[in-house]
Amino acid sequence: MMMTFDQLGLRPELVKATASQGYASPTPIQAQAIPAILDGRDVLGGAQTGTGKTAAFALPVLQKLNQEGRRSRRPRCLVLTPTRELAAQVGEFMKVYGKHLSLRSAVVFGGVNINPQINTLKRGVDILVATPGRLLDLAGQKMVDLSAVEIFILDEADRMLDMGFIHDIKRVLKLLPGKRQNLLFSATFSEDIKKLADKFLANPAMIEVARKNIAAEKVDQVVHPVGLKDKRVLLAKLIHDGNWQQALVFTRTKHGANRLAGYLEKNGIGAAAIHGNKSQAARTRALAEFKKGKVQILVATDIAARGLDIDRLPHVVNFDLPNVAEDYVHRIGRTGRAGCSGEAVSLVSADEQKLLRPIERLLGRKIDVEVVDGFAQNPADKNEETFVNFTRKGGRGKTGGFSSRSRSTGKRRNSPGEVRAAAG
Ligand code: AMP
């Protein structure tokens, strides 16, 4: 019997939110952390992106704040993250999981105008997700009062220390009330992390999950090497040959998203682009048409795709690989949910190959490389050899040496295991 979210003691509004995200059952970190956090325990969690760690703390936190119901203008939960991308991501998940509750959450980070953040804080928030520098800035200006924090979460503590945030963390800790629940998540446990954990966790539940990635397990992933200029032609071919009805395609830039959507439209494929330069109304319209099936292909940048409430996509395409490995995991996390099979396709030009390594390290596995007939990397591209060497350790083989899949039949010549072995 598969465990369910309501067996973990979560209220129906939260269970409903996980169902609409397409989650069939809790991941190991969720199964262990949720009951401990609901119980009020401190937690020391060993987990990295891709294990479902965000929901592991977000769901019980939302439940606790909701049931205690005290409305204060001051934050009652503080999540510290090392980067603004992660802060935005956590903030979006708080909104997505909490959509049937009436708690308020906000995200603050540096590098952007502080005034809108001040205004949001003035209106009152229950959950504040922050990077350390901007938080201390706001606290220094007396724009945020952390004296009502009941739950403090340090996310990706190892990265925090790597980025030199230790003093900032200590400064933040001094602003918090003494009595509170503390959660610390980290992918690795160095001596420094242990020291930090000793400092502010009290008798924590120790939860460690294997280096295992849900995304990596449930999603059929493939890399197609292709010349930069041929990417869009290959994408159109994959859509046609595979008779794709719905796919989310990621590009790195807004401009790239527009151009690609235009190209697909011109080739008879219904497509729309969503990105930061589009009005909220235009984005909502594009999303609605995509959901209804009027538009087959939604082209999006990472930021625009955050928090998009779309479930169970059969195909996710990395038209460009993301610069940050975690973004890859979040992109492909949009397919293969709830037991549905999903496919994540990455179109990788020679200059992007260097981005594959950190992604594979995060996934804990190699991604299969398959050349689509007629679409090997552009021979005029001087970097082509590099790609071949990188994927086939031990030989400068021709691209034909890869497992190549005939797109018309969808059959693979090599099993993924064989390819992985060949790829080292
Ligand atoms: P995280 O490790 O929190 O960064 O989450 C990685 C990805 O896993 C996200 O795309 C989540 O939407 C997804 N996810 C989280 N929990 C589950 C679950 N129980 N089942 C399936 N996917 C999940």
Q: What is the DSSP string of 54-84?
A: HHHHHHHHHHHHHHH----SS-SEEEE-SSH
Picking from 24, 27, 8, 424, the residue whose alpha carbon sits closest to that of residue 216 is 27
φ/ψ of residue 12, rounded to 5: -55, -35
d(CA 159, CA 124): 29
- State the CB neighbour count (10 A cutoff) for residue 413: 12
CB 117 within 8 A of CB 128: no
User: Which superfamily, per CATH, for 5-208?
Assistant: P-loop containing nucleotide triphosphate hydrolases (3.40.50.300)
Q: Which amino acid is at 191?
A: E
Supply the pTM of this predicted model. Answer: 0.66
Give nearest CA residue, ligand 1 atom 14.
52
Residue 201 has what pLDDT? Answer: 94
Return per-residue pLDDT of the chain as tens, 424 residues: 678 999 999 999 999 999 998 888 999 999 999 999 999 999 999 887 888 999 999 999 999 999 766 667 899 999 999 988 889 889 999 999 999 999 999 999 998 899 999 999 999 999 999 999 999 999 999 999 999 999 999 999 988 998 899 999 999 999 999 999 999 999 888 888 888 999 999 999 999 876 555 555 678 899 999 999 999 999 999 999 999 999 999 999 999 999 999 999 999 999 999 887 777 778 878 888 898 888 999 999 887 776 566 766 889 999 999 988 888 988 887 776 555 668 999 999 999 999 999 999 888 888 999 999 989 875 555 554 444 434 333 333 333 333 334 333 333 333 333 333 333 2
Question: In this structure, are residues 296 and 247 in contact, taking their beta carbons and an 8 Å threshold?
Answer: yes
| Single-letter residue type at 422 | A
Residue 208's DSSP bridge partners are: 46
**Identical fold, 5-208 and 219-407:** yes
What per-residue confidence (pLDDT) applies to 67?
Answer: 79
Pairing mode, strands 151-154 and 77-80: parallel
Residue to substitute in 10, 21, 340, 362 for testing ligand 1 pocket (most ligand atoms within 8 angstroms of CB) = 21
pLDDT of residue 188: 81
Which CATH code of 3.10.20.600, 3.40.50.300, 1.10.10.10, 3.90.950.10 fits the domain covering 219-407? Answer: 3.40.50.300
Pocket of ligand 1 (CB under 6 A): 21, 23, 26-27, 30, 49-55, 214-215, 329-330, 333, 337
* CA-nearest residue, atom 15 of ligand 1: 52
Per-position DSSP letters for 385-423, written without gaps between them: HHHHHHHSTT----GGGSB--BTTTTB-SS-HHHHHHHT
Cα 317 to middle of ligand 1, angstroms: 18
Q: Write out the two tokens for 379.
A: 């021979």
What is residue 230's three-state secondary structure?
helix
pLDDT at position 152, please? 98
Where along the chain do its domains lie?
Answer: 5-208, 219-407
Atom 19, ligand 1: residue with shortest CA distance = 26
Burial 289-323 (b: 16+ CB within 10 A, else e): ebeeeebbbbbbbbebbbebeebbbbbbbbbbbbe
With CA atoms as reference, report the closest residue to 305 among 283, 323, 282, 320: 283
H or E, element range at 196: helix 191-200
Alpha-carbon distance of 414 to 14, in angstroms, equals 42
347 to each of 234, 316, 370, 375, how far by Cα in Å?
A: 8, 11, 10, 10
Helices and strands, number each (H, E), in the chain: 18, 14
Q: What is the pLDDT of residue 44?
A: 94
Q: Which of 8, 16, 29, 54 to mutate to test the pocket of ligand 1 (most atoms within 8 A of CB)?
A: 54
N-terminal to C-terminal alpha carbon distance within the chain: 36
Task: Map tokens 């993250």 to a residue.
Answer: 81
Encoded tokens for 391? 């994927």
Helix (H) or strand (E) holding 46: strand 43-46
Q: Give 376 Cα–ligand 1 centroid separation in angstroms.
A: 33
User: Which atom of ligand 1 lies nearest, measured to the CA of 53?
Assistant: 3
CA 147 to centroid of ligand 1, rounded, Å: 31
Q: In what order do the strands lie in the sheet with 342-348?
A: 271-274, 297-300, 247-250, 315-318, 342-348, 219-225, 368-369
Q: Measure 383 CA to ligand 1 centroid, in angstroms.
A: 35
- Cβ burial of 242 (10 Å; 0-12, 13-18, 19+) is middle
Could you tell me the distance, in angstroms and rounded to a whole number, from the CA of residue 329 to the centre of ligand 1? 9
Q: Ligand 1 center to residue 26 CA distance, Å?
A: 9
Residues 106/110/113/117 CA torsion (nearest 10 deg): 20
Q: Which atom of ligand 1 is nearest to the CA of 326?
A: 4
CA atoms within 13 A on the CB side of 250: 30
Reading the block at residue 264, the tokens are 């697909």
Which uninterrupted H or E stretch holds 6? none
**d(CA 94, ligand 1 centre) in Å:** 13
Rounded Cα distance between 105 and 409, Å, is 48
- Which pLDDT value is given to residue 163? 87
